[in-house]
Amino acid sequence: MSNTDRAIGKDKDGNGIVYEDLMNLYTLFVDFFRVKTYDRRKEVIVFMNTQDCILTRRSVRKFTNEPVAPETVEQVVSLAAFAPSWKNTQVSRYLAVIEPEDRAQICQYVPDYNARIIDQCSVLLAQTFVKSRSGYERDGSFSTDRGPGWQYYDCGIAAQTLCLAAHDMGLGTVIMGVFDRPALERFLNIPADQELMALIALGYPDETPPAPRRKDVQTLLSFKRGQSTI
């Protein structure tokens, strides 16, 4: 499909402007003002609406060396606590790794492309979950045929809530799912009743990545009307 076919607008020469072009322009626009307000963030209140926040959040893999204050990490996590969860079980937990020496050790247990991120972020959050609660009945049986799957689902919602909250506060994040889980659980002393879910790098962004292409809504959404699905 050509760009013109996918166009949602035309420029003055009649060329198609596709959704991704507009998204990237929008990201640059918002980021321009964000950077200005970020420099003077004590004096200026930044308003970002929910759609701005969703559209302009990116996985950030380059960070400045400005430290993220512990109170800021607390605020991000306190916002993530408002994520919905199975029967409000709130199983997601976060272990903040702030010492560069600890982060350097963690790099042994991740592929190089994630080690490069962990090496320069300010804080590495190890997201864990309390086992056998989300998706379970009190007697330990599964509530649904998803088995233990809802605990992963809850972690995903919590992680995205955290990333959006961080973005709203001028911070960058990237979720990392590729690591040697047993080795990291040992290194991080994750309690036996918890499991490591993901690593989330946190820091002040030193890049504004373009939005990777998204599937269009026609691919994502169908409507069931009577017997047919359109």
Ligand X SMILES: Cc1cc2nc3c(=O)[nH]c(=O)nc-3n(C[C@H](O)[C@H](O)[C@H](O)COP(=O)(O)O)c2cc1C
Q: Site residues (CB under 6 A) for ligand X?
A: 58-59, 61, 113-114, 174-178, 209, 212
Cβ nearer to ligand X, comparing 23 with 143: 23
Output the smallest distance, CB 182 to ligand X, in A. 17
Q: Output 44 or 113, the one with its CB closest to ligand X.
A: 113
Nearest one of 112, 127, 182 to 159, comparing CA atoms: 127
**196 has which bridge partners?**
128
| Closest distance of CB 172 from ligand X, Å | 10
Q: Which is nearer to ligand X, 27 or 72 (CB)?
A: 27
Q: Which is nearer to ligand X, 34 or 58 (CB)?
A: 58
CB 15, min distance to ligand X, A? 26
Measured between alpha carbons, how far is 158 from 160 in angstroms, rounded to an integer? 6
**In the numeric block, which tokens belong to residue 87?**
């029967």
**Quick one: which of 183, 212, 187, 181 has its CA closest to 199?**
181
Residue among 165, 71, 175, 168 nearest 117 (CA): 175
Work out how close the CB of 40 gets to ligand X at its nearest, in angstroms, rounded to a whole number: 26
Question: CB of 10: closest distance to ligand X in angstroms?
Answer: 27
**Going by C-beta distance under 8 Å and a sequence separation of 6 or more, which residues neighbour residue 75?**
165, 169
Which three-class secondary structure state does DSSP give residue 67? coil
Q: Which is nearer to ligand X, 119 or 143 (CB)?
A: 119
Kind of pairing, strands 123-130 and 194-203? antiparallel
First to last CA, the chain: 21
